[in-house]
Structure 1
Amino acid sequence: MISARATMRPRDRLLALVFSTAVITHSAAAQSVDRDSGIYAPRTPLQSPPLRVEVIDGTRFRDIETGDAYRLYGIETCAPAQTARLGRQPWPCGTMATAWLVTATLNAWLACRTLREESGEHLVRCATAGHQDLAADMLRAGVAVAVPGTDREPAIRAYIQAEQDARKAYRGLWSSTFQMPWEWRASRAVMPSVAHGEATP
């Protein structure tokens, strides 16, 4: 016998996922009361309506209707021009991450929760009908790495586990030699100033 869920259209499944996530999050937030003032203040992240997006790079995309920019929270991918090396063979790990995200979001509705605004972008966690958590699935596929946690913002445990699974299976980046994306970007940021310093008498 075919279940009702199996016969649901992809957009209906996505909306059902959004609704169930909102209910769970709302239930947890309902207990959030300021003890000093006795005033209830919801802590639920802002839930966006389903989006169709245009991918910018491995972690960023924009809403094709509003032009709003979004960035996946908790992960980094190779920069567009960055490469990894499998043995002696270089390969474009930044291009691969972008292609993965394009494939996952093409002709798909995204449901995203905005955690905060940062540098003009919505920092988000997103799902589609085929991916319960886009960032986690990128980590499992080995096309992204988890951002190290800090005292203020601990790493997401599920993301750390997803990355460890990819590393153990030597998937994607973990089959190759590569520089961590934040270190690669930092080294490129200082190169122009170093070159300029060498040219100055």
Structure 2
Amino acid sequence: MGAGNHDIVRSTRFGGGELGSVRARAALVALLGLPGAAYLYQGQELGLPEVDVPVEARADPMWARGGVCRDGARVPLPWTADAAMSHGFSLAEPAADPWLSIPAGWGTHAIEQQEQVPGSSLNITKTALELRRQLWKNEVFTADDGGSWRVEAGNLLICERNAHFLVAVAMGTEPVKLPAGTVLLSAAPLAEDGWLQPNNAAWVLKD
């Protein structure tokens, strides 16, 4: 089970802008609750958007050879909000230029910023990973989990991982009723108890 890679555009392109960011967080939560191994491509835990790297600054050899550029997902990670030292990515003195240009406003996605925001993409990812470890330790998750899929009313996508746990993703335009159980995690706070709003995903421990 994966979550993107450097050969495709970032999942934060799901609609672009704030909508894309909300959907990307939901995708992260959904992915980390599914059966099997999971990997996150660099910056995905930060919800980094795809970058439109200027033509003159592109470094991907595939751009020169075939007109396909993968550099939009390879811009250095922003560690600090301050742009100094490529937003903390390079600690060299004097600061070295990164291999790809960093767009204006990149610091809004910085790790140091997101660490202070409970609902940030970074903190949601940390929470999901820790909960994933706990569920494995408590044998709610097992190596035998296979997963069965269905779509319920209102375009609620369900992956029933096993008899005890399911992942729900609201793919429609209206809030949808979740299956009975305890919500362990959601990508965004639930607008109403037991209901999942559009563009959100949740982990449910079944009754």
* Band of TM-score, shorter chain: under 0.3
Q: If the length of structure 1 is used for normalisation, what is the TM-score?
A: 0.21
Rg comparison, structure with higher value: 1
Q: If the length of structure 2 is used for normalisation, what is the TM-score?
A: 0.21
The structure richer in helix per residue is 1
